[in-house]
Structure 1
Amino acid sequence: MSGGFARGRRMGVDVGLARVGVALSDPDGILATPLTTLRRDPQKGFDVKLLAGLVHEHDAVAVYVGLPRSLDGGENTSTAMARDYASALVRRLRAKGWAVPVRLIDERLSTVDAHRALLEAGVARRHHMDKVDQVAAATILQSAVDRGRATGAEPGTPVDPPVHHTATTAVPHNGGDPDAEPPAAAHRAAGPSGAEDAVPPPDRAREAPLTTTDPDGEHS
């Protein structure tokens, strides 16, 4: 296997409005199998926390999130939802210090294929809801690993969400400008040798944590 597509387990993710399907490959990237289904938690992001934990638990070397497009290749609300979810996962992984790449994989009929696979396996339609999301994730993952092994390169588009900064708050001693020199710097006292005493530079605005707030109150 080419160095561009290193050996290791990979994870596939199918994002839906109510559920998130998860699949896992073997270390050689030959077979993708359904793993689990997570219930969406858009308010607190608990499902993102669980997914990041699964990535770490299974020592995945990459995560592929399905990017649903319309049949003509255009984007829609489902496409935007998948992009946002992938970005949230990247932020969570970064916050935990887990450097696992997340990539978007074009998928248009994974759910249709998943329903067909379940029917062929003899699973009645009334039982599809519990399995269809993770089977769809396995379809996405199988397509990705097949492409990676064939080309020797990681498939899909990498996700690299922008860094968000906290808003600047007013600081009374320097007029609210965190980059301004504090008044003390303008009046440096001469030391015994006649040299001016050094005054430490002002604090800068800190970056906001790249993570969601866990429902259990944990912050990363």
Structure 2
Amino acid sequence: MSTPIPEIPETGRIAAVDYGTVRIGVAITDPDRVLCSPLENYNRRSPSKDAQYFKELAELERIVLFVVGLPVHLSGDESQKSYEARQFGKWLFETTNVPVTFYDERFTTSMAKDMLQDAGLTKKRRKARLDMLSAQILLTAFLENPNRALGSISGLDDR
């Protein structure tokens, strides 16, 4: 079950996740949340390797919150992909024990595509950067307006 955004420390790194079934874009803030940068695209491998990746990310970067992009329709209604992203968020919390919040990711991919096109990158280089740039755009939006979160998972009562 989702709840409003959990209380989070005033400092500490936040990571955004642009969820995909094949590739996951990851962006991260600095500890003071002044900057957010694309980190990488993680190519999914297996449930155990995915868990190892996210556990290590959470520990090494000292993540205090994950923001998972929630694909919703223009009307604001959720879709099958929204359900999958919420299931991933639940798994992410259970795997890392780091609170997870969901945030509307509408237009992040199209904005990222436009930015990469404007940068004059080749199609191959645009594809290589798309998901992590989408995650950065998502993270920037969250930092600017965290009250627009679409629910969170942050404790045993949420499962």
Q: Distance in 2 between matches of 1:83 and 1:26?
A: 25
Structure (1 or 2) with the greater helix fraction: 2
Q: Distance in 1 between matches of 2:150 and 2:83?
A: 16
Aligned to 2:125: 127
Q: Distance in 2 between matches of 1:44 and 1:73?
A: 30
Matched AA of 1:120: D
Give RMSD over aligned pairs. 2.5
- Is 1:13–1:21's contact at 8 Å kept on the other side of the alignment? yes
TM-score, normalization by structure 2:
0.84
Q: Distance in 1 between matches of 2:27 and 2:62?
A: 13
The answer on 1:64 being equivalent to 2:67 is: yes
Q: Distance in 1 between matches of 2:81 and 2:119?
A: 28
Q: Distance in 1 between matches of 2:12 and 2:138?
A: 17
Q: Distance in 1 between matches of 2:109 and 2:39?
A: 16
TM-score, normalization by structure 1:
0.62
Aligned to 1:143: 141
Which stretches of structure 1, 4 residues or longer, exceed 6 Å deviation after superposition?
Answer: none
Question: Quick one: percent identity of the two aligned structures?
Answer: 28
- Is 1:5–1:154's contact at 8 Å kept on the other side of the alignment? no
Q: Distance in 1 between matches of 2:31 and 2:149?
A: 16
Aligned to 1:157: 151
Structure with higher RCO (Cα < 8 A, 6+ apart): 2
Q: Distance in 2 between matches of 1:61 and 1:143?
A: 17
Q: Which runs of 5+ in 1 are unaligned?
A: 95-99, 164-209, 211-220
The answer on 1:29 being equivalent to 2:33 is: yes
Aligned to 1:170: none
- Is 1:87–1:160's contact at 8 Å kept on the other side of the alignment? no
Q: What is the aligned length?
A: 152
Matched AA of 1:111: T
Q: CA-to-partner distance for each residue in 1:92-142, whole Å, 9 max, x for gaps?
A: 113xxxxx2111111111111111111222212232221111111111111
Q: CA deviation at 1:78?
A: 1.1
Bigger CA radius of gyration:
1
**Do the aligned partners of residues 134 and 160 (structure 1) sit closer, same or farther apart at CA in structure 2, a change above 3 Å counting?**
same
Aligned to 2:102: 104
Q: Distance in 2 between matches of 1:102 and 1:158?
A: 5
